[in-house]
Amino acid sequence: EETDLITDTLWDDLEESLLAADVGPRTVIWLIERLRERADAEQMRTGAQVQRALREELVDLLGDSSPLHLSQRSPLTVMLVIGVNGSGKTTSIAKMAARLSHEGHKVMLAAADTFRAAAIDQLKVWGERISVPVISQQPNADPGAVVYDAIQAAQARGSDVLIVDTAGRLQTKYNLMEELKKINKIIQRFVPDGPHELLIVIDAPTGQNALLQARKFAEDIGLTGVIITKMDSTAKGGFAFAVTDDLGVPIKFIGTGEKVEDLIPFDPQSFVAALFAQE
Amino acid sequence: MAMFESLTKRLEGIFQNLEGRGKLTEDDVNSALREVRIALIEADVNLKVARQFVDRVKQKAIGADVMGSLSPAQQVLSIVQEELVEVLGGSDDKNKLDLSGNPNIIMLVGLNGAGKTTSAAKLANYLRKQHGSRPLLVAADMYRPAAVNQLKTLGKQIQVPVYSEPAGSDPVDICVHALDYAREQACNTIILDTAGRINIDERMMQEVVNIRDRVRPHEVLLVADAMTGQEAVRVAQDFNDAVSLTGMILSKMDGDARGGAALSIRTVTGVPVKFMALGEKLDAIQPFYPDRLAQRILGM
Ligand SMILES: Nc1nc2c(ncn2[C@@H]2O[C@H](COP(=O)(O)OP(=O)(O)OP(=O)(O)O)[C@@H](O)[C@H]2O)c(=O)[nH]1
Ligand SMILES: Nc1nc2c(ncn2[C@@H]2O[C@H](COP(=O)(O)OP(=O)(O)OP(=O)(O)O)[C@@H](O)[C@H]2O)c(=O)[nH]1
Ligand SMILES: [K+]
Ligand SMILES: [Mg+2]
Ligand SMILES: [Mg+2]
Q: Each residue of B138-154: pLDDT tens digit?
A: 999 999 999 999 999 99
Contact B3 A234 (CB under 8 A): no
* Partners of B287 in the β-ladder: B275
Average of per-residue pLDDT across B71-89: 90
Confidence of residue B232 (pLDDT cuts 50, 70, 90): very high
Phi, psi of A270 (to 5 degrees): -75, -30
Ligand nearest to the CA of A203: 1
* Partners of A112 in the β-ladder: A166
- CA neighbor of B49 nearest in space, from A20, A203, A21, A234: A20
- CA neighbor of A198 nearest in space, from A82, A117, A63, A90: A82
**What is the helix, strand, coil percentage profile of chain A, to 5?**
50, 15, 35
Judging contacts by C-beta atoms under 8 Å, the chain B residues touching residue A116 are: 150, 280
Residue B144 and residue A257: Cα distance in Å, rounded? 12
Contact B114 A207 (CB under 8 A): no
Is the separation of the CB atoms in A117 and A235 below 8 Å?
A: no
Alpha-carbon distances of B212 from B106, B175, B192, B197, B266, rounded to whole Å = 10, 9, 10, 15, 22
CA–centroid distance, residue A260 to ligand 1 (Å): 12
Judging contacts by C-beta atoms under 8 Å, the chain A residues touching residue B257 are: 207, 209
Q: Over its length of 279 residues, how does chain A's per-residue pLDDT go in tens digits?
A: 457 899 999 999 999 999 999 999 999 999 999 999 999 999 999 999 999 999 999 999 998 888 999 999 999 999 999 999 999 999 999 999 999 999 999 999 999 999 999 999 999 999 999 999 999 999 999 999 999 999 999 999 999 999 999 999 999 999 999 999 999 999 999 998 999 999 999 999 999 999 999 999 999 999 999 999 999 999 999 999 999 999 999 999 999 999 999 999 999 999 999 999 876
How many CB atoms lie under 10 A from the CB of residue B179?
19
Residues constituting chain A:
279
Q: At residue B75, does pLDDT exceed 60?
A: yes
How many CB atoms lie under 10 A from the CB of residue B65?
11
Residues constituting chain B:
300
Which of B251, B256, B288 to probe ligand 2 with, by most ligand atoms within 8 A of CB? B251
Which amino acid residue places its CA nearest to atom 9 of ligand 1?
Answer: B112
Confidence of residue B3 (pLDDT cuts 50, 70, 90): very low
- CA neighbor of B61 nearest in space, from B96, B95, B29, B107: B29
Ligand nearest to the CA of B198: 1
- Host H or E run for residue A99: helix A89-102
Sign of the Cα pseudo-torsion (A135, A136, A137, A142, in order)? positive
A206 close to B (CB below 8 A): yes
Q: Which ligand 1 atom sits closest to the C-alpha of B195?
A: 27
Phi, psi of B275 (to 5 degrees): -145, 155
- Which long-range contacts link A4-13 to residues 24+ away (Cβ below 8 Å)? A4/A46, A4/A47, A4/A48, A5/A45, A5/A46, A5/A47, A6/A39, A6/A44, A6/A45, A6/A46, A6/A47, A6/A50, A7/A47, A10/A47, A10/A50, A11/A36
CA–centroid distance, residue A268 to ligand 5 (Å): 32
Phi, psi of B249 (to 5 degrees): -110, 120
Is the separation of the CB atoms in B210 and B185 below 8 Å?
A: no
Confidence of residue B180 (pLDDT cuts 50, 70, 90): very high
Average of per-residue pLDDT across B16-33: 76
- CA neighbor of A97 nearest in space, from A110, A83, A108, A111: A108
Which amino acid residue places its CA nearest to atom 12 of ligand 2?
Answer: A86
Strands B22-23, B65-66: parallel, antiparallel or unpaired by DSSP?
A: antiparallel
* Partners of A161 in the β-ladder: A77, A107
Contact A86 B144 (CB under 8 A): no
Residue B271 and residue B247: Cα distance in Å, rounded? 5
Query: Is this prediction's ipTM beyond 0.85?
Result: yes
Which pLDDT score is estimated for B5?
A: 66
Strands A251-255, A225-229: parallel, antiparallel or unpaired by DSSP?
A: parallel
Sheet of strand B162-163: strand arrangement: B162-163, B135-140, B189-194, B104-109, B219-225, B247-251, B273-277, B285-287
User: Which of A 1-60 lie inside 8 A of B, CB atoms?
Assistant: 16, 19-22, 24-26
User: Which of A 223-252 lie inside 8 A of B, CB atoms?
Assistant: 230, 232-236, 238-239
| Strands, E assignment, B230-284 | 247-251, 273-277
Inter-helix orientation angle B47-61/B26-42, to 10°? 150
Contact A85 B258 (CB under 8 A): no
Residue B51 and residue B71: Cα distance in Å, rounded? 24
Which pLDDT score is estimated for A1?
A: 47
Name the residues around ion ligand 3, CB cutoff 5 A.
A 231
Alpha-carbon distances of A95 from A252, A260, A276, rounded to whole Å = 13, 5, 27
| Strands, E assignment, A123-277 | 134-135, 161-166, 197-203, 225-229, 251-255, 263-265
Strands A263-265, A251-255: parallel, antiparallel or unpaired by DSSP?
A: antiparallel
Residue A36 and residue A40: Cα distance in Å, rounded? 6
- Host H or E run for residue B286: strand B285-287
DSSP alpha helices (H): ranges in A103-196?
A: 119-130, 143-156, 174-190
- CA neighbor of A225 nearest in space, from A201, A246, A257, A191: A201
Residue A82 and residue A128: Cα distance in Å, rounded? 22
Residue A195, preceding bond cis, omega within 30 degrees?
yes
